Amino acid sequence: MTAPALFQPLTLRGVTLKNRIGVSPMCMYSSEDGFATDFHLVHFGRFALGGAGLVIMEATAVDPAGRISPYDAGIWSDEHIPGLARVASFVAASGAVPGIQLGHAGRRASVREPWFAGAPLGDDAVEQGYPEGSPWVTQAPSAQPAGPEFPTPAEMTADDVRGSIEAWAAAARRAVTAGFRFIELHGAHGYLLHSFLSPLSNFRTDEFGGSVEGRRRYPLEVVRAIRAAVDDDIALSYRVSSVDGFEGGLDIDDTVDFARDLKAAGIDIIDTSSGGITTDRSMDTRVRRGYAFHADFSRAVREGADMPAATVGLITDPHQAESLLSHGDADMVLLGREMLNNPNWAHHALAALADSHEEWDIRYGSAIAPRAGTLARLAASGETPLTRFSM
């Protein structure tokens, strides 16, 4: 019997995923000085044990100034490699492809954790318990803040931009040394790559601004530098904000055209997200959130740029995910919050779609057949979990 689309392998360059279920990169704000810890080993390792074909580690800063918060993971130093290597090694040994997202938050850096609303760090950050050096000066293509409450970033010089390109390439080399086989560049949500691309944040007049070609120059040079820095069998992904969602910003046609350039530069799959170019809520957003709300964007990219695309965003049900793939909306699905809720989502999806537990780790086998048989017997007898309380 043909496997469900969700459980057919996907090959990207020299990397083959056993299924088309990926764990979307999610910042966990659990590092000090960028170092991966036992938390990261267990956190990402359990997704691999849960059956996902791809586990992408959270946005990992290529430069200290590019951390979203002081507690972001980092890869700007060779000293970060051993901790990251433990994570990649366990993920690979557990049957998933180890991936990592490289990022630079640009003008949206130097903020508090999301449970503190992601507000910019104030001058009293150290007194409030944040590490020395908080807050720090953020960087951007132009000296325009990310929103009304954000500080004005430092406009990067041409030399800053070129130095940043090398920082991305060096980070990619470290990622490969650590054992990651899939590298994603975070080019969405108003972070540095996105802020160079969007006309709402890039007002430069030099070679890295102005025209569409100028605004694309920095992200494309980053991609080319990374492609040249890693082995040809390493898969590269690029996360886009498919639309800015604001008047005068990027729309899906812009993104499809940019995806063609990314493909030519060496990107193997586009990860379609949206929004984030500004935090100014007074501007009229056009992004409506709903189940699988980026699927139209991933379909447009895969058809318009003739390349694989992943979709993310409120994908919760195995049948929903299967439908997205079988109808051509995407080549793979990425799950974030749903994986936090259920790290075994991929195993349960296989059971739901193919009535199979063959991928379940044998060490967890007691959770499957005996339990299922007992529950079936109780259901046939009319007994429910609440029976004892209704007597």
Catalytic site positions: 191
Structure tokens, 376: 């079936």
Q: State how far the alpha carbon of 366 is from the alpha carbons of 89, 95, 120, 347, 385, in Å.
A: 27, 20, 48, 14, 20
Q: How many CB atoms lie within 10 A of CB 162?
A: 15
Backbone angles phi, psi at 182, to 5 degrees: -135, 120
Distance CA 230, CA 51 (A): 27
Maximum C-alpha span of the chain: 78
Backbone angles phi, psi at 334, to 5 degrees: -115, 130
Distance CA 152, CA 329 (A): 39
Peptide bond preceding 135: is omega within 30 degrees of 0, i.e. cis?
A: yes
Pairing of strands 10-12, 15-17: antiparallel
DSSP state of 275: -
Structure tokens, 284: 């009229």
Distance CA 203, CA 195 (A): 10
Q: Which amino acid is at 40?
A: H
Q: Which residue has the tokens 């586990």?
A: 55
Closest to 143 measured CA to CA, from 135, 152, 134: 152
